[in-house]
Structure 1
């Protein structure tokens, strides 16, 4: 890859952010970055808030400071994130990195913490681009030291260049496993094995959606390239694995599983688990927006219309937070949402541009039905063994959830009141889906009837000293503030 200097990214955040703005975008991943870029092109003042220290989200993490070695390590798709970065300081753009948003109101007030201080602003329009979170993969022993998620491993690699020193194993299902295995291989990491749990039945289900994959084209080419690279690396690759068990006393020692009818126990110092990603619905749940249950991907999807419109006027969704679509489609959704906002604000956003963006988005999304079915989570991980911990914060096992179900708990919030799952620091982000799956199976009812935890603001812990020192700015607050 040719040497090239990284794009110029604003290094300072304006301290005088106006308390009232036409647009605020929450989340600086592909969707958020694209939305802000379109807004500024149409002369709309906009704030961009993200909890991380720089732009990119998870997929493009660290892209603003990536050197040529990093670009080569993470691949061409990572390099595409450069297209979304601003090239110069922009007085009408307010990038607030390190800003943890903890409350949004229906009338557009946004409360956040940054550098140990609470602050607020109000926006006439909000584009919520909260992104995705990793689906937990509960197996026996997954709470042992030495077991992490694949996303956590990739975060360490992208943000600090940290690589494991001992034998590493990757286990689970989803495109991220292949990508991370290839990235570790390029970095010279000793990957002891790639253990895939994708059920054989998923391949048959996905085959019916193959025309969409062929029509989109790019995902197929990326997948084929990764498979060829993993084959060249000579990495041991087990398929259709079952019965995964992280083995160890006090720390991880090995991964035990069965593949192709043969039992395996392979030594490793680090095990990275992955079972795909799901929309981050913490904001949309706290806003009490309608959600629909996705039977294929086994997750909740916030309900939205064309351009990300929601049931709350002025709040739009874009990117994986509205449904998993991938980086390129997420950027198109952010762009489309910003174009519609521009029209509503009276800007001369060409109808042709909106139509062209919508058409490109439809083409990008053509492959999603294939991907969703191929990497749908296996039944083994939706209905785990009794002794498997489901809620890590409160150390609640699947057996305890089934016991509470037997005592009459029939929905997630009743279960939360009686047994405390979802009451820990993560507020159900890590256990909400699995709690509902186990509870629903205990009653032989649809997961949609088990529901999801009822969330309240703030959605993340806020220190009391920040709140006590907080002075409400001159914003047009409504009844929800």
Structure 2
């Protein structure tokens, strides 16, 4: 195993090198605790600050000041005494704070006294007819290509959905000379009224003027269609057109690329597999971990920071990372002097409720019907799921036996929320009552050869195969 951890045990292991993970790493390492930061990517930054040290897009105005604000935090983490390993996959975490990791084709187990999970967010599933066609991508995937390689569309392209990332990506593509033929905004009109009680807090937040400027920038160059209520992609073997309805007749436009986005949700798989308690969040319409004010979870020693704790944005993630780090320092070094970052977090979260209400996705874009694919890995449709409910499937775990949903390479990341809401509606129950997939290690695909080369002892076996 190349670049293997130098120790068998650390005071603190941080998982994820995005805003929360980098901030937490620098904070605990500066307190003199032995610290290990593990991340799947080739470099630091996570999705928000992806390729912060290597992006070919060097002009600050093209990606924006918010992106470049990550450079200092990434530098602080790299210059600390923390051990940092990139291209590392954490595929197991148990209640005893033992982690299974893979690096360079080999695997090992390490122990921690405290673990900070900072795995961030993932894009919410957007299951529309045709979303599995080649030529249909998520906005996040497109932004990864933009930041990592400076690639932008030069073909007929459509961006559809809602949320801050949709407008940010559109602005960045246009700044780099890319092509966008149309922006299809799926924000429900009723959401604007529902969000009004939270408008003042949002208008006094740092996000208001930035968001307004971005939207104006995009609208000055691209046709924006608001109030889209129906959306589908079509083509013979690859995307050829996009069809939509927005308070008028159905319209079809040619497209070689469709970028979809309707917000982000916490990446919960590792935390759920470890046994951390989660609850359905009725505002953000997703699963979020049950945490105290310091980010500590239901399992002693495991904290969750950043968007994995609930969507709050990059700046809030930084302060959540520092708060989780301070909690670890106080637990391991009670006499250490620490800083209270709660006021900074409160300021960073100002206006969040407005965004959560405004950009709550419409039901028809979360809960598909008919032959629309729900589980991409196993090609299971909405009708397949409902047919299974009709003959006795009571929840996502029972559905596995009927249709193998959630058992493919993504382990439910692209279908989990859809399955929960689809079954909840079919059975007349809440998502909390229906539940989520029962997740177990390994939570990420790993080679059988890696498992075969693990230490042969009872504890190692239980870490991989446990009830």
The TM tier, using the shorter chain, reads over 0.9
Number of the residue aligned with 1:241: 228
In the TM superposition, what are the counterparts of 1:21-420 in structure 2 within 5 Å?
Answer: 21-66=10-55, 69-86=58-75, 90=79, 92-215=81-204, 217-232=205-220, 234-346=221-333, 348-350=335-337, 353-354=339-340, 357-420=341-404
Please list every run of 5 or more consecutive structure 1 residues that lacks an aligned counterpart in the other structure: 1-12
Please list every run of 5 or more consecutive structure 2 residues that lacks an aligned counterpart in the other structure: none
SS in 2 for 1:307: coil
Deviations 1:403-451 (A, max 9, x none): 1111121211111111211111111110011011111111222122221
Supply the distance in 2 between the matched residues of 1:86 and 1:55 (Cα, whole angstroms): 9
SS in 1 for 2:406: coil
**Any conservation in 2 of the 1:21–1:123 contact (CA below 8 Å)?**
yes
Cα distance 1:68–1:149, how it changes in 2: closer, same or farther (>3 A)?
A: closer
Q: How many residues align structurally?
A: 463
**Any conservation in 2 of the 1:107–1:477 contact (CA below 8 Å)?**
no
Deviations 1:45-72 (A, max 9, x none): 2000001111000000000124563533
Q: Offset at 1:120?
A: 2.4
**Any conservation in 1 of the 2:3–2:104 contact (CA below 8 Å)?**
no
Supply the distance in 2 between the matched residues of 1:129 and 1:472 (Cα, whole angstroms): 30
SS in 2 for 1:245: strand
TM-score by length of 2: 0.95
Q: Offset at 1:479?
A: 6.9
Cα distance 1:240–1:349, how it changes in 2: closer, same or farther (>3 A)?
A: farther
Supply the distance in 1 between the matched residues of 2:162 and 2:278 (Cα, whole angstroms): 25
Supply the distance in 2 between the matched residues of 1:30 and 1:438 (Cα, whole angstroms): 33
Cα distance 1:271–1:16, how it changes in 2: closer, same or farther (>3 A)?
A: closer
Supply the distance in 2 between the matched residues of 1:411 and 1:67 (Cα, whole angstroms): 46
Deviations 1:21-78 (A, max 9, x none): 1111000000000001111221112000001111000000000124563533211110
Supply the distance in 1 between the matched residues of 2:93 and 2:115 (Cα, whole angstroms): 9
**Any conservation in 1 of the 2:92–2:463 contact (CA below 8 Å)?**
no
Q: Offset at 1:348?
A: 4.7
SS in 1 for 2:261: strand
Cα distance 1:177–1:16, how it changes in 2: closer, same or farther (>3 A)?
A: closer
Q: Offset at 1:90?
A: 5.0
Cα distance 1:87–1:326, how it changes in 2: closer, same or farther (>3 A)?
A: closer
Number of the residue aligned with 1:9: none
Cα distance 1:415–1:70, how it changes in 2: closer, same or farther (>3 A)?
A: farther
Number of the residue aligned with 1:454: 438
Cα distance 1:91–1:146, how it changes in 2: closer, same or farther (>3 A)?
A: closer
Cα distance 1:403–1:363, how it changes in 2: closer, same or farther (>3 A)?
A: same
**Any conservation in 2 of the 1:31–1:333 contact (CA below 8 Å)?**
yes
Aligned residues: CA RMSD? 2.0
Number of the residue aligned with 1:10: none
Q: Offset at 1:86?
A: 2.6
Q: Offset at 1:212?
A: 2.2
Deviations 1:123-172 (A, max 9, x none): 10100101011111011111111101111111111112222221111001
Supply the distance in 2 between the matched residues of 1:359 and 1:23 (Cα, whole angstroms): 25
